[in-house]
Amino acid sequence: MAMRSNGPILLSLPAFRGVTRRLILLSLLVFFALVVLSLGSRELSGSLLGAIVLSPQQALHWHLWQLLSYPFADLNLISVALSLLSLWFFGSALEDERGPRWMTEFFLAATIGGGLLASLLAYAAGERVEKLSVASVDYGMWPFVLALVLAFAYFHADQPLRFNFIFTLKAKYLAAIYLLFYLGAALIGGDRFGALVALSNALCGYVYLRLAPRRSIKTTASEKWFGLRNAYIRAKRRRAAKKFTVYMRKQGSDVNIDPSGRYIDPDEKSRNPNDRTWLN
C-alpha cells in the first residue's frame, strides 16, 4: 500500500505477508489449538490458557514467557476476528512503509514492555486499588493493536481513511476512537488490569517511536557499526601511507599521497584525484 499519497486511503485489506502475516497465523494457530483442546479436555485447555495469559504474580516470578505469549491467548471468536483484521490492515501498512525489522521491534517493545510495565504497576498497587491486583490476568491481541493504531496515527495523523466509500475519517480520530472504546469497555466490564495493559502497550510503543530510528534499531546499529569499521580502515590506511612516504623519502624517492591515503601516480598528475577507478 502506498502511504505517501495525500489522498484518502481506502480501508481495504492489504497484502498478506511479512511479520504481520506470521503474527496473525500464530494467533489463529493458538486459538484453534485452544478450541480443539477444550473440546477434548477443558482442564487441559484451561491449564494451557493459564500458562500463556499475562498474570503479574506469575510473570514477575520467572514465568517470563507470559510477557510475550499473552497477545496470542484468546478464546473469544469475535474478539480474535476483529483484532486480527485490525492488525492485518494497520500492521501491513506500517510494515510496507517501515520494514519487517521495524515491525518486529515495535511488537516486542510494545508487548513485552507494556506487559512488564503493567505487571509492575499492578504488583506495586496490590490490593490498594480496587479490582487491580496481582491476581488479575490479561490476554489477547487488542493491547498491541491499540499501540499499532496509535503508531499509524503518529506517522499519518491527518491521513484520511475511507470506509467502503461511506465516510472518511482521519487517522488520529480513528486512533482516539479505538483507544477510548477499548478502555471504556474494559472499565465498564471491571477489567482494570486489561485497561492498564492497553495503556502500557500504547506508552511503550510511543516511547519506541520517539527513541528508535526510522527503520529499525538493528538496521541503524549495523549502519553505525559499518561506519565505524570503515572509518577505522581509512585511518589505518592513512597511517600506512604516512609510514610509506617516510620510508620512500629515506630511500631518496618522493611519492604523492592524497589526504585519504591513496597513492597518486606521478606520471598521471592530470587525472582527477576523485576518480577512484584509477587508484590502486
Domain chopping of the chain, boundaries: 9-215, 220-278
Q: The C-alpha cell of 130 is what? A: 480496587
Per residue in 218-256, is it b (16+ CB within 10 Å) or e — as a string? eeeeeeeeeeeeeeeeeeeebeebeeebeeeeeeeeeee
Q: The C-alpha cell of 84 is what? A: 486480527
Is the pTM higher than 0.95? The answer reads no
Question: Per-residue confidence at 8, pLDDT binned at 50, 70, 90?
Answer: low
Q: What is the pLDDT of residues 184-240, one digit of tens each?
A: 988 888 888 999 999 999 999 999 998 876 666 666 666 666 667 676 777 777 777
- Phi then psi for residue 161, to 5 deg, are -115, 125
Amino acid identity of residue 63, one-letter, is: H
Instruction: Please check whether residue 216 is in contact with residue 101, taking contact to mean a CB–CB distance below 8 angstroms.
Output: yes
Instruction: Please check whether residue 121 is in contact with residue 56, taking contact to mean a CB–CB distance below 8 angstroms.
Output: no
Q: What is the pLDDT of residues 63-90, one digit of tens each?
A: 999 999 999 998 899 999 999 999 999 9
Instruction: Please check whether residue 89 is in contact with residue 149, taking contact to mean a CB–CB distance below 8 angstroms.
Output: no
Instruction: Measure Cα distances from 114 to 59, 156, 164, 207, 221 in Å.
Output: 12, 23, 33, 11, 24
Residue with cell string 489449538: 33
Q: The C-alpha cell of 266 is what? A: 606521478
CA distance 24 to 72: 9
Angle at the Cα of 243 from the Cα atoms of 239 and 246, rounded to 5 degrees: 140
- Between 215 and 160, whose confidence is greater? 160
CATH topology (fold) of 9-215? Rhomboid-like fold (1.20.1540)
Per residue in 60-97, is it b (16+ CB within 10 Å) or e — as a string? beeeeebbebbbbbbeeeeebeebbebbbbbbbbbbbb
